[in-house]
């Protein structure tokens, strides 16, 4: 029986010729990741396990990105603990404020994850790296601790859903719209315990930033991982983002699903038919096309996050905001994913466009996405966000509302003060 | 044996423990805010041994282990749902919060019912209604982690 792409990566990392859905395996890990929320818990568990040194100082990555720059004393204590552990364990890939970015924007940019890797991260959006052709999945702090100690993690081999992509998306339609459309179709547990594997002739019409946004939200359909077949665009991206640290040898390995791979289901998705899509409160599956939205006034727009804080997202926002002003009494907060993206925005004039339009242009942080800091909502307020979750209270008060959308819809909304179709600007 | 708190589908980790409280990992502190954004009365009403019964996809969202830690520290003895979000599922076993997948129990059990669970057999007894339901047995691999009293000890014994 043939294996899916995910199963092939897992089999290789478990030292097995073949794995089957439902089988329990223990796999070797290429990268083990944590942040300032999950890292401190993992460090405590690591110590309780009696572990002294991490299994490989080059394979553990620590990124203080959630409540940084430190939002309060408790957050500062957590970051301090992460920093001291990184220094003590001589962890190369620890990124201090000033060089850090939002972890899932940062790791691909730095070439820390490549095709064929098996990655666990104590952050649910670790599945982002599937865009690079890696197996990457979110786990909790105890799994993270075990991963740091042994370089291994246990998995139940997942079955998979195949997404066969065809066609080319329209001008203002991005990967974000595609993934919101898919989650709307299959639901927030539509891929529970499974892999989502993306392939087909439409793949070539999706940029790497589109794919990273899509793989990022696989978890929002309940998936264990989302993964894209590796093509020329992936290879070009990996070439451009080669890790510069020589001690940190990364080997690209390309896995293909077997021709007779068994999939639970196959969806054929014509990208040319997808409309700009918005997820209404309070679940990512509550999607409507922009044509069905109606008149919804907005108090705050947030553009950024591990889903949509990349260069193309900044570019589309700048294109729409150029020479325009943010609607009266609306707050627009733009936070790029990494320092590199931030600098590019400064260099090519996007930062000036944002500030002149009346936006806040922030340092990279996860802050507003999870209601941490830098843009909390009051009772009764409504936000359009390019982030990934619109759960009750996610961005602030339990009586606030979040509408998830693409950077194009978000920027158009910021200008018009209500959820707006960028095609109509 | 304990009393049941009942919730709907897709109970997410943001309502189990809102991110504004994640600047600490102290279980007692987290327990004070458990279920705060879905049920403000939960913390004042819950007693040691009580159970949470909910709809499908319990624990969806973030990977924060603070969610099962908060539930366990609040005194909850078991969470029953038809399905769990996968990271929450792992985190529960790894941190020693017992959870059971059982659709029938999730449908039949009402808020306030007195329920007793046998973790060895997976039998769930509803004392109030005089009914019993059978949950899926744990896979052998999971049992090994449980036998080691969580992943920390499992790793300790296998380092």
* A297-310: pLDDT as tens digits: 999 999 999 999 99
In this predicted structure, the answer to whether residue B159 has a pLDDT above a threshold of 80 is no
* A178-224: pLDDT as tens digits: 999 999 999 999 999 999 999 999 999 999 999 999 999 999 999 99
Secondary structure in 3-state letters for chain B: CEEEEECCCCCEHHHHCCHHHCCCCCHHHHHCCCCCCCCCCHHHHCCCCCEEECCCCECECCCCCHHHHHHHHCCCCEEEECCECHHHHHHHHHHCCCEEECHHHHHHCCCCCEEEEECCCCEEEECCCCEEEECCCCCHHHHHHHHCCCHHHHHHCCC
Q: Do B57 and A189 touch (CB under 8 A)?
A: yes
Q: Which residues 387-416 of A have a C-beta within 8 angstroms of B?
A: 389, 391-394, 398
* A265-275: pLDDT as tens digits: 999 999 999 99
**B50 within 8 A of B71, measured Cβ to Cβ:** no
B155 Cβ under 8 Å from any chain A Cβ: yes
Confidence bin at B144 (pLDDT 50/70/90):
confident
B43 Cβ under 8 Å from any chain A Cβ: no
Q: Give the ipTM of the model, two decimals please.
A: 0.94
pTM score of the predicted model: 0.97
Q: Do A192 and B57 touch (CB under 8 A)?
A: yes
Q: Do A145 and B155 touch (CB under 8 A)?
A: yes
Average pLDDT over chain A reads 97
Q: Which residues 287-346 of A have a C-beta within 8 angstroms of B?
A: none
Q: Do B63 and A72 touch (CB under 8 A)?
A: no
B121 Cβ under 8 Å from any chain A Cβ: no
Q: Of B76, B77, B84, nearest to B58 (Cα)?
A: B84
Q: Do A71 and B23 touch (CB under 8 A)?
A: yes
Report the distance separating Cα A42 and Cα A62, nearest Å. 11
Q: What's chain A's length in residues? A: 425
Across A46-126, where does the E strand assignment appear?
Answer: 60-63, 93-94, 118-121
Q: How many CA atoms lie within 13 A of A173 on its CB side?
A: 21
């Amino acid at each position: 029986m043939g294996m899916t792409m995910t199963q092939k990566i897992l089999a290789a990392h478990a030292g097995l010729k073949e794995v089957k859905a439902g089988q329990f395996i223990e796999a070797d890990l290429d990268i083990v990741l944590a942040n300032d929320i999950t890292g401190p818990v993992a460090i405590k568990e690591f110590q309780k396990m009696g572990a002294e040194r991490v299994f490989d100082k080059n394979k553990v990555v620590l990124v203080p990105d959630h409540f940084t720059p430190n939002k309060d004393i408790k957050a500062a204590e957590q970051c301090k603990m992460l920093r001291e552990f990184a220094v003590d364990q001589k962890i190369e890939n620890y990124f201090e404020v000033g060089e850090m970015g939002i972890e899932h924007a940062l790791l691909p940019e730095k070439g820390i994850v490549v095709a064929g890797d098996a990655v666990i991260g104590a952050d649910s959006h670790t599945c982002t790296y599937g865009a690079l052709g890696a197996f990457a999945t979110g786990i909790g702090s105890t799994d993270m601790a075990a991963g740091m100690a042994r370089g291994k993690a246990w998995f139940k081999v997942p079955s998979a859903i195949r997404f066969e992509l065809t066609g080319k998306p329209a001008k203002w339609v991005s990967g974000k719209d595609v993934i919101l459309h898919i989650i709307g179709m299959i639901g927030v547990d539509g891929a529970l315990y499974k892999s989502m594997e993306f392939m087909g002739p439409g793949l070539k019409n999706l940029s790497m930033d589109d794919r990273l946004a899509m793989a990022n939200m696989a978890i929002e359909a309940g998936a264990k991982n989302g993964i894209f077949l590796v093509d020329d665009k992936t290879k070009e991206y990996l070439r451009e983002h080669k890790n510069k640290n020589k001690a940190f040898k990364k080997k690209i390995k390309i896995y293909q699903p077997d021709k007779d791979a068994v999939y639970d289901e196959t969806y054929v998705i014509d990208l040319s038919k997808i409309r700009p899509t918005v997820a209404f409160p309070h679940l990512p599956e509550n999607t409507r096309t922009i044509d069905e939205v109606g008149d919804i006034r907005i108090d705050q727009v947030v553009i950024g996050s591990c889903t949509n804080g990349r260069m193309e997202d900044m570019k589309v926002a700048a294109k729409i905001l150029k020479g325009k002003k943010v609607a009266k009494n609306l707050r627009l907060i733009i936070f790029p994913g990494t320092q590199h993206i931030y600098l590019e925005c400064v260099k090519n004039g996007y930062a000036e466009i944002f500030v002149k339009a009346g936006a806040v242009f922030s340092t990279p942080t996860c802050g507003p996405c999870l209601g941490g800091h830098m843009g909390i909502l009051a009772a009764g307020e409504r936000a359009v966000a390019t982030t990934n979750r619109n759960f009750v209270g996610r961005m602030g008060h339990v009586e606030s509302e979040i509408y998830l959308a693409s950077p194009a819809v978000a920027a158009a909304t910021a200008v018009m003060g209500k959820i707006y179709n960028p095609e109509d600007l | 044996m304990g009393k049941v708190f009942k919730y709907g589908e897709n109970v997410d980790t943001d309502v189990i423990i809102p991110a504004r409280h994640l600047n600490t990992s102290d279980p007692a502190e987290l327990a004070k805010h458990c279920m705060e954004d879905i049920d403000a009365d939960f913390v004042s009403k819950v007693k040691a041994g009580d159970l949470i019964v909910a709809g499908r996809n319990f624990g969806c969202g973030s990977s924060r282990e603070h969610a099962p830690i908060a539930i366990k520290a609040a005194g909850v003895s078991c969470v029953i749902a038809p399905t769990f979000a996968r990271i929450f599922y792992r985190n529960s076993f790894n941190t020693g919060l017992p959870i059971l997948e059982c659709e029938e129990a999730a449908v039949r059990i009402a808020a306030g019912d007195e329920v007793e669970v046998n973790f060895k057999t997976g039998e769930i007894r509803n004392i109030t209604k005089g009914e019993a339901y059978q949950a899926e047995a744990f896979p052998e691999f999971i049992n090994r982690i449980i036998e080691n009293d969580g992943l920390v000890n499992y790793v300790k014994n296998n380092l």
